[in-house]
Amino acid sequence: MTKTHHTIDYVEFSAENLPVVQTFYSKAFGWDFTDYGPDYTCPTNAGLDGGFFTSPEPVKPLIILYSGNLEVSLESVTANGGKITRNIFDFPGGRRFHFADPAGNELAVWSDK
């Protein structure tokens, strides 16, 4: 599937207990899941790509944008008043960084390149 530069592409949610969350969404909405280790799971038929990660306390959902050039996106964020909250790092499937916008909302930008 072709990704579009600087569009919302993914959303992450926290969950204290992944099996409980999987059961809830499976029964309530018919979602199926793919596990990526013990601390991360992704719904496979939820309409928008996303995942749940293990966290002992609730964390605000994280909206993740796609970028065709991560370094250029990072420069654009900082040049326009965004604050980098987590520098570029690798994860299975790509790389990403997190930032806060001028209103204090945290988002992330990822790339598979």
- pLDDT, tens digit (0-9, with 9 covering 90-100), for 24-65: 999 999 999 999 999 999 999 998 999 999 999 989 999 999
Question: Of 3.40.50.2020, 3.40.50.10090, 3.40.50.620, 3.10.180.10, which CATH number belongs to 8-111?
Answer: 3.10.180.10
**Which candidate, 54, 84, 43, 48, places its Cα nearest to that of 66?**
48
Percentage of the chain exceeding pLDDT 70: 99
CA gap 45, 35 in Å, rounded: 14
Q: What is the pTM of this model?
A: 0.87
Mean pLDDT value of segment 89-102 = 95
- Residue 113's pLDDT is 78
